[in-house]
Amino acid sequence: MSRRASYSILDASGVAMTFEFWYMLPTSLVIATVAMASGVEGATFFAPLFLLGLGLPADVAIGTGLITEVFGFSSGVVAYVRRKLIDYRLARTLLTVTVPMALVGTWLSGLADPAVLKAILGVGLFAVALSYLRSPPEQETADADADIAATYGQSADRSCLVSAEGETICYRVCNRAEGLIVSGVGAAFMGLISTGLGELNGYFLLRRCKVPSRVAVATSVLVVAVTALVAATGHLVKFIQSGGDAMDTVLSLVIFTVPGVIVGGQLGAAVASRIPQHTLERALGVLFLLVGALMLGDAILT
């Protein structure tokens, strides 16, 4: 891989880090702001950008996207912990499946042909786009939350938590076996192509199981963050073992993307309160359709 940067530094292991990708600092700040405001996994943006915009190898693009996402979602986890909206028991149950399946996906990514990975990512982006284009309006979500509270408020098998604001939220987690299967598939795709878990968790918790939206999103953010950390560690181990240009490129990117997503993760909460969620999701749906088409076209031409 050619190097355009004129300046570089060496870390303790002798790996070269360049300032070639300095522009990823403001870019990652914008991406993280949009991702946290909409609930989309950050790697859903980063992997296509690294593949199409920077022309990086598929494994480097996917692994670096996951490493970057860990820091962005960790910021979101802190916010939801403070608001006391995470169902930790449900999160632990899902993590028993998502963690090993993410490692399986990471292992498979090292065996797959780069063109195949691009094609899978393109199809995945189409699926993500359709999920956002078909998302219900905010009023419908609010009505569903109210119906959940009325239906399961006195249920014997309900789960309840008390938010930081003192509000008691009760609901029932249905069909846990289905949830484990759906989340396991999403985690495998996360390890393979860096995205999929957040979207499938949202499908199960919000649409299939009717968990209140705030609890569903908060719990999903924790599950995605921990699973992304495991998948990112798997990719990082492969980069360290291979060494050379791959590790140089990863470090040259993350020194700019990580600060950007940490700041952007905090800005996302402010943006979410100013832009209608339904409007943002529609715009992202159109964007992912276009990027998915470009990914499939690139895979076919590769």
- Answer whether residue 244 is part of any domain: yes
Tokens of 267: 């800005």
Hey, CA dihedral for 126, 128, 131, 135, is it positive or negative? negative
- Say how many residues make up the chain: 302
What pLDDT is attached to residue 146? 57
- pLDDT tens digits, residue range 160-198? 888 888 888 888 777 778 888 988 988 998 888 888 887
- Answer whether residue 2 is part of any domain: no
What pLDDT is attached to residue 156? 47
CA distance 27 to 5: 18
CA distance 151 to 277: 26
Considering only CA atoms, which of 35, 206, 204, 201 is closest in space to residue 102? Answer: 201
CA distance 137 to 29: 27
- The boundaries of the domain holding residue 110 are 13-137+176-301
CA distance 278 to 140: 11
- Answer whether residue 153 is part of any domain: no
- pLDDT tens digits, residue range 127-161? 777 876 776 555 555 555 555 555 555 554 577 88
pLDDT grade for 4, boundaries at 50, 70 and 90:
very low
Q: What is the residue-wise DSSP string for 204-229?
A: IIIIIS---HHHHHHHHHHHHHHHHH
How many domains are there within the chain?
1
What pLDDT is attached to residue 7? 47
- Answer whether residue 148 is part of any domain: no
- Answer whether residue 282 is part of any domain: yes
- pLDDT tens digits, residue range 280-297? 677 777 877 887 887 788
Tokens of 12: 């303790």
Coil/strand/helix, residue 34: helix
- Answer whether residue 149 is part of any domain: no
Hey, CA dihedral for 203, 294, 250, 45, is it positive or negative? negative
- pLDDT tens digits, residue range 72-81? 888 778 878 8
- Answer whether residue 183 is part of any domain: yes
Q: What is the 3-state secondary structure (H, E, C) of 135-197?
A: CCCHHHHHHHHHHHHHHHCCCCCCEEEECCCCCEEEECCCCHHHHHHHHHHHHHHHHHHCCCH
Element housing 86 (H / E):
none
Radius of gyration of the chain from its Cα atoms, rounded to whole angstroms: 19
Q: How far is CA 121 from CA 118, 173, 198, in A?
A: 5, 30, 15
pTM score of the predicted model: 0.77
Element housing 112 (H / E):
none
- Answer whether residue 88 is part of any domain: yes
CA distance 233 to 228: 8
